[in-house]
A and B are shown apart, each in its own frame.
Chain A
Amino acid sequence: MSSIAENNPGRVALLMGNEAIARGALEAGVKVCAAYPGNPSSEIIGTLATVAEEMGLHVEWSINEKVALEVAAAASLAGLRGLCAMKQNGLNVASDFLLNLNLTGCRGGLVVVVADDPSGISSSNEEDSRIFAKLGDLPLMEPASFQEAKEMTREAFNLSERLSLPVLLRSVTRISHARGNVTFDELPRSFKKPEFDLSKPWSAFPAIPNHKILHERLQKAKEIFEKSSFNFYRGPEKPDLIIITSGSGYLYSFEAVNNLKVEERVGILKIGTSWPLPEEFVLKHLRKSENFLFVEEVDPFLENNVKELFAQNCFDLGMKRFFGKANRMIPDVGELSPEIVHSAIQTFLKVKFISRPEDYSRKAHEAVVEMVPPRAHGFCAGCPHRATYWAIKTALALDGRDGFVLGDIGCYSLGMGPSGFSQMKTLHAMGSGTGLACGFGQLERFGMEQPVVAVCGDSTFYHAAMPALANARYNGANFLLLLLDNSATAMTGFQPHPGTGFTATGRVAPVIDLKAVCEVFGSHVEVVDPFDLEATVEAVLRLISAERGVKVLILKRECALVSGKRQRRVFQMEVDQERCLGEACGCNRLCTRIFRCPGLMWDQKRGKARIDEAICNGCGVCAEICPASAIRKV
């Protein structure tokens, strides 16, 4: 493995897209980097944190994306280069600051990397964040390869300084999380001293003159983009069809054109600087053909912008046909693939191409069905959340008033599915479970009798639920907040947060104590270990019937994967198959059918449960739920 901090120009390294972006930032001389973890963006700051000391950077996991952007912007206002990374949902959080920062402008290069997640592979939504560039009149770049990810990041810093504007760099999962060859350039050595210039205040107000300046800067960006090498056309001079594409769509299009062997008939217009649109460059290529196909993830961003441009110039351009999401030739939801582009080109050109035999899927399925065990999307073996939801389910069932659980973003979102016994009933944004509880917790006066319960992870709590908890106390909401404190931002890769006692770069940090924070907000706070099922059930039952007000129950138990890295399993588990009731009345496979920890297996031959020792983390909770005491801690 090569370090992205190697100053070795010309060296070719196999890098993940996010590492390439980090390398680009280093080549640009970035000094301050901040983010809140969120896939597919997390490795950008994760990688920079590993070289922070060596490169003399400040790298931090901030409490949320808005604060992260503010931290990076401060560096810029002081004349240094700053980078802020986030996932698409994060830009919503940061947008309030961003849509004022555009009006004040900035000083040192400031790049905002947004890694979108088409298909929502590790997200609650598949929002296309490019619209924020148009909304905020900000320059937007979209890398289409790993090399470009690095180059564009470096150029984005230069552009930001030329324009005095933050620049958005939009990646997607298949750029950020895939790997490719990247050639290194030189790492600069700069020793610029940051300074706040007292003569120049930064204020978005008054809006009108600042808005005017912003438009002038955007016009300048357009002029620069007209000549950008990130925009190019490859194909014949008079093609039957031109594919207009950006980002990951470029590689899909390139592959499809090659596979179909239609290089002589189909051209590809690749746009790297998507906003503002390099209009002259695009117009030049609009004259080359009558037919255009848009290939982009997720929304018709280029498609609509190019159509706007066409409408403005249609008198000169003559009749054109546009294909894409508007006429359903390209799906308007989900990730794209070469197959999707194949099929669109085939429909138009009437060429024949079979990317794989028709019965390939069926045959592949048959070949592996015996070997691959069915796996549900669920919690890891020994995950404290499984125990937590088990206790919640038991408590709410015993209580009998149809209490319900409001949730949000984290590993515990899986509480909506069978792994969490379908206990979580709402899933929106970070911290929204607690926010919704503030509202549901006011509905008693209208006759609502159901107990209101919110769940929130520790990292999510610091990110977005603290204001909701303060609001709850202030406005007198009545609910129980379960803080699932697993001492990590587990879902995105165990990044530290204010409660963990160390920082992104491994420095020891003061612990912002969850319990103390909740108590300061005036909540009644109790702490319980979710592995103690009976104690957890008792506490939940008692607190949902307690006097009205905000109650917080902290379920404290470290993430099984975090503790598993540090120590061997707590218990060695075994099943006494003589005692195991199996499918008989009295059990009917409670452990493998309902509790469903992946560490438990159904021994079909014997009709008994057994432990999968390769997977079991030895938490011991299954011993508590076994009705026959057949599962034992050894």
Chain B
Amino acid sequence: MSRGLKELEEKVFKKDLCTACGACLSLCPYLRSWKGRVVKLHDCGLEEGRCFAYCPKTGGDLAGTGEQESTQRDEQLELGPVRKILMARGRDPIWREKAQSGGVVSALIDFALKKKVIDAAILTLREDDFLPKGRIVRNREDILNCAGSSYVSGPTLEALNRGPWNGEERIGVVGLPCQAIALRKMRSSSLEKRTPIDKVGLIIGLFCTWALEYERFHAFLKERLGQLNIQKLEITPPPDRLLKVYTDRQLTMVPVDEIRPFIRKGCQVCLDMTAELSDISAGTVEGIEGWNTVIIRSDQGEALFKEAEKEGMIECQSLPEDHLNHLKEASLLKRRRGMDVLQEIGRPEGGKG
């Protein structure tokens, strides 16, 4: 079977399953992203390519590649590999102010850079246009610029492929579940690598229920709000489920049901809510403002987290039982819905994508 751009186009782009994770970008001149879409510019003609190999939507079995062996003993049905689940937040209020929820991800990256666990991190930047793009960060100011959510997925991993890298840097990546899958596929691919995936020593995954299509979502916001500068987007927990849009002049609330039509189809078939292939996963704690749910999954994740706690960068609490149950339910629900959609479109489950 061919495993090149042509197949990627047939199996992913044409079926609208791309989530614009960015793993296939800046590898070649044939693919480019534009407004949250990955676009094929020309036929590449190769039978096999990294674009297909790295894509989180082309399936492939990650078991047996050594990626999961160390974590198999902790495997949980609902949440993947788990060492520890708790509630945490960055101790410095600056994280909570700028970031979503407790700012624990920003605080951990800041700590990892300071401790030289990593030399650079790839985060997602949203400029004034709220279009996500990958950004290589090396200091606190850059981290703060990247804090917050846009509810739109973007080609973060392109920054890993694009660099520039000096060859020796250790890299941390903060990404969505699909991006964590892509990183694992990059690592296990036998194709010649020109991406410093072997230097990626830390993956922090973000919980994700879905992401929106950039163009349609922002056309909707523009129609609803007019030409307003959006400062921050936030979704409130159930039962309200409101999208809060903060602009420089006003706060507008939009029921989440109104933006559901813009959910990417690639997200509807996703089986992974909690970024199971990361070292540490983090999300909100529904109903408890200013805190994150954190799942520690690997040795590296555990070591980093412990040290950050010891040095007072983050503070922790145990996650209340009902919240844990709710998290498991939500994760299972996403998986079940994803399986249903996969069956509907006649595509068997492949990997964790």
Q: Tell yes or no: A475 within 8 A of B by CB.
A: no
> Is A400 in contact with B39, judged by CB distance below 8 angstroms?
yes
Q: How many A-B pairs with Cβ below 8 Å?
A: 46
Q: Which of A393, A586, A587, A593 contacts B41 (CB 8 A)?
A: A393
Nearest CB in chain A to that of B191: its residue: A585
Q: Tell yes or no: A394 within 8 A of B by CB.
A: yes
Complex CA distance for A625 and B28, rounded to whole angstroms: 11
> Is B28 in contact with A587, judged by CB distance below 8 angstroms?
yes
Instruction: Please judge, given known A-B contacts A586-B27, A588-B46, A593-B45, whether A397 and B192 are in contact too, CB under 8 Å.
Output: no
> Is B45 in contact with A586, judged by CB distance below 8 angstroms?
no
> Is B46 in contact with A585, judged by CB distance below 8 angstroms?
yes
Q: What per-residue 1/0 map shows which CB atoms of B133-174 lie under 8 Å from chain A?
A: 000000000000000000000000000000000000000000
Which B residues touch A224, using CB under 8 A?
none
Nearest CB in chain B to that of A593: its residue: B45
> Is A585 in contact with B50, judged by CB distance below 8 angstroms?
yes
Complex CA distance for A47 and B40, rounded to whole angstroms: 50
Which A residues touch B30, using CB under 8 A?
590
Q: Tell yes or no: A512 within 8 A of B by CB.
A: no
> Is B46 in contact with A398, judged by CB distance below 8 angstroms?
no
> Is A625 in contact with B27, judged by CB distance below 8 angstroms?
no
CB proximity of B14 to chain A, nearest CB, Å: 13
Q: Which of B29, B37, B43, B44 contacts A400 (CB 8 A)?
A: B37
Complex CA distance for A398 and B25, rounded to whole angstroms: 14
Nearest CB in chain B to that of A587: its residue: B28
Instruction: Please judge, given known A-B contacts A398-B34, A400-B34, A627-B29, whether A588 and B44 are in contact too, CB under 8 Å.
Output: yes
Q: Which of B37, B40, B48 contacts A585 (CB 8 A)?
A: B48
Q: Mark out the residues of chain A between 598 and 634 whose CB falls within 8 Å of any chain B CB in the assembled complex.
A: 625, 627
CB proximity of A587 to chain B, nearest CB, Å: 6
> Is B45 in contact with A588, judged by CB distance below 8 angstroms?
yes
Complex CA distance for A421 and B41, rounded to whole angstroms: 11
Q: Tell yes or no: B177 within 8 A of A by CB.
A: no
CB proximity of B231 to chain A, nearest CB, Å: 25
Complex CA distance for A594 and B45, rounded to whole angstroms: 10
> Is B28 in contact with A586, judged by CB distance below 8 angstroms?
yes
Q: Mark out the residues of chain B between 8 and 58 whose CB falls within 8 Å of any chain A CB in the assembled complex.
A: 27-30, 32, 34, 37, 39-46, 48-50
Complex CA distance for A627 and B50, rounded to whole angstroms: 15
Which A residues touch B310, using CB under 8 A?
none
Nearest CB in chain A to that of B33: its residue: A398
Q: What per-residue 1/0 map shows which CB atoms of B246-281 lie under 8 Å from chain A?
A: 000000000000000000000000000000000000
CB proximity of B33 to chain A, nearest CB, Å: 9
Complex CA distance for A397 and B27, rounded to whole angstroms: 18
CB proximity of A598 to chain B, nearest CB, Å: 18
Nearest CB in chain A to that of B215: its residue: A400
> Is B29 in contact with A585, judged by CB distance below 8 angstroms?
no
Q: Mark out the residues of chain A between 368 and 420 whose CB falls within 8 Å of any chain B CB in the assembled complex.
A: 393-394, 397-400
> Is A585 in contact with B28, judged by CB distance below 8 angstroms?
yes
Q: Mark out the residues of chain A between 566 and 612 whose CB falls within 8 Å of any chain B CB in the assembled complex.
A: 583-588, 590, 593-594
Instruction: Please judge, given known A-B contacts A586-B194, A590-B42, whether A398 and B32 are in contact too, CB under 8 Å.
Output: yes
Please count how many residues in chain A sit with their CB below 8 Å of the partner chain's CB atoms. Answer: 19
> Is B29 in contact with A625, judged by CB distance below 8 angstroms?
yes
> Is B192 in contact with A590, judged by CB distance below 8 angstroms?
no
CB proximity of B20 to chain A, nearest CB, Å: 13
Complex CA distance for A378 and B228, rounded to whole angstroms: 48
Which B residues touch A586, using CB under 8 A?
27-28, 50, 194
CB proximity of B133 to chain A, nearest CB, Å: 15
Complex CA distance for A587 and B40, rounded to whole angstroms: 14
CB proximity of B87 to chain A, nearest CB, Å: 42
Complex CA distance for A594 and B44, rounded to whole angstroms: 9
Complex CA distance for A400 and B20, rounded to whole angstroms: 15
> Is A394 in contact with B41, judged by CB distance below 8 angstroms?
yes
Q: Which of B43, B44, B191 has the most CB of A within 10 A?
A: B44
Which A residues touch B28, using CB under 8 A?
585-588, 627
Which B residues touch A541, using CB under 8 A?
34
Which B residues touch A593, using CB under 8 A?
45
Complex CA distance for A571 and B92, rounded to whole angstroms: 56
Nearest CB in chain B to that of A399: its residue: B34
Q: What per-residue 1/0 map shows which CB atoms of B50-69 lie under 8 Å from chain A?
A: 10000000000000000000
Which A residues touch B194, using CB under 8 A?
586
> Is B29 in contact with A590, judged by CB distance below 8 angstroms?
yes
Nearest CB in chain B to that of A625: its residue: B29
CB proximity of B158 to chain A, nearest CB, Å: 14
> Is A584 in contact with B192, judged by CB distance below 8 angstroms?
yes
> Is A585 in contact with B49, judged by CB distance below 8 angstroms?
yes
Which A residues touch B29, using CB under 8 A?
587, 590, 625, 627
Q: Which of A398, A587, A588, A594 contacts B39 (CB 8 A)?
A: A398
Complex CA distance for A415 and B44, rounded to whole angstroms: 20
Which A residues touch B49, using CB under 8 A?
585
Which B residues touch A394, using CB under 8 A?
32, 41
Complex CA distance for A165 and B37, rounded to whole angstroms: 65
Complex CA distance for A511 and B2, rounded to whole angstroms: 57
Complex CA distance for A399 and B41, rounded to whole angstroms: 11
Which B residues touch A627, using CB under 8 A?
28-29
Q: What per-residue 1/0 map shows which CB atoms of A66-89 lie under 8 Å from chain B?
A: 000000000000000000000000
Which B residues touch A584, using CB under 8 A?
192
Q: Mark out the residues of chain A between 538 and 558 whose CB falls within 8 Å of any chain B CB in the assembled complex.
A: 541
Nearest CB in chain A to that of B46: its residue: A588
Complex CA distance for A399 and B43, rounded to whole angstroms: 17
Complex CA distance for A593 and B43, rounded to whole angstroms: 10
CB proximity of B270 to chain A, nearest CB, Å: 23
Complex CA distance for A625 and B29, rounded to whole angstroms: 8
CB proximity of A595 to chain B, nearest CB, Å: 9
> Is B34 in contact with A585, judged by CB distance below 8 angstroms?
no
Complex CA distance for A399 and B27, rounded to whole angstroms: 21
Q: Which of A394, A584, A588 has the most CB of B within 10 A?
A: A588
> Is B27 in contact with A585, judged by CB distance below 8 angstroms?
yes
Complex CA distance for A586 and B30, rounded to whole angstroms: 8
Complex CA distance for A163 and B154, rounded to whole angstroms: 78
Which A residues touch B46, using CB under 8 A?
583, 585, 588
Complex CA distance for A394 and B39, rounded to whole angstroms: 9
Complex CA distance for A590 and B34, rounded to whole angstroms: 21
> Is A585 in contact with B192, judged by CB distance below 8 angstroms?
yes
Complex CA distance for A588 and B40, rounded to whole angstroms: 15
Nearest CB in chain A to that of B161: its residue: A586
Which B residues touch A625, using CB under 8 A?
29
Nearest CB in chain A to that of B53: its residue: A585
Complex CA distance for A393 and B39, rounded to whole angstroms: 12
Which B residues touch A398, using CB under 8 A?
32, 34, 39, 41
Which B residues touch A393, using CB under 8 A?
41-42
Which B residues touch A397, using CB under 8 A?
39-41
Nearest CB in chain A to that of B45: its residue: A588
CB proximity of B58 to chain A, nearest CB, Å: 15
Instruction: Please judge, given known A-B contacts A400-B37, A585-B27, whether A594 and B42 are in contact too, CB under 8 Å.
Output: yes
Complex CA distance for A561 and B194, rounded to whole angstroms: 40
Which A residues touch B40, using CB under 8 A?
397
Which B residues touch A588, using CB under 8 A?
28, 44-46
Q: What per-residue 1/0 map shows which CB atoms of B172-210 lie under 8 Å from chain A?
A: 000000000000000000011010000000000000000
Which A residues touch B39, using CB under 8 A?
397-398, 400
Q: Which residues of B contact A (CB under 8 A)?
A: 27-30, 32, 34, 37, 39-46, 48-50, 191-192, 194
Q: Which residues of A contact B (CB under 8 A)?
A: 393-394, 397-400, 421, 541, 583-588, 590, 593-594, 625, 627
Chain A to chain B contacts (Cβ below 8 Å), 15 pairs = A393-B41, A397-B39, A397-B40, A398-B34, A400-B34, A400-B37, A400-B39, A585-B28, A585-B48, A586-B194, A588-B28, A590-B29, A590-B42, A594-B42, A594-B43
Q: Which 9 A-B pairs have the closest CB atoms?
A: A398-B34, A627-B29, A585-B49, A586-B28, A594-B42, A590-B29, A397-B41, A588-B46, A398-B39
17 more CB-based (< 8 A) A-B contacts, given A393-B41, A586-B194: A394-B32, A398-B32, A398-B34, A398-B39, A399-B34, A400-B37, A585-B28, A586-B27, A586-B28, A587-B28, A587-B29, A588-B45, A588-B46, A590-B42, A625-B29, A627-B28, A627-B29
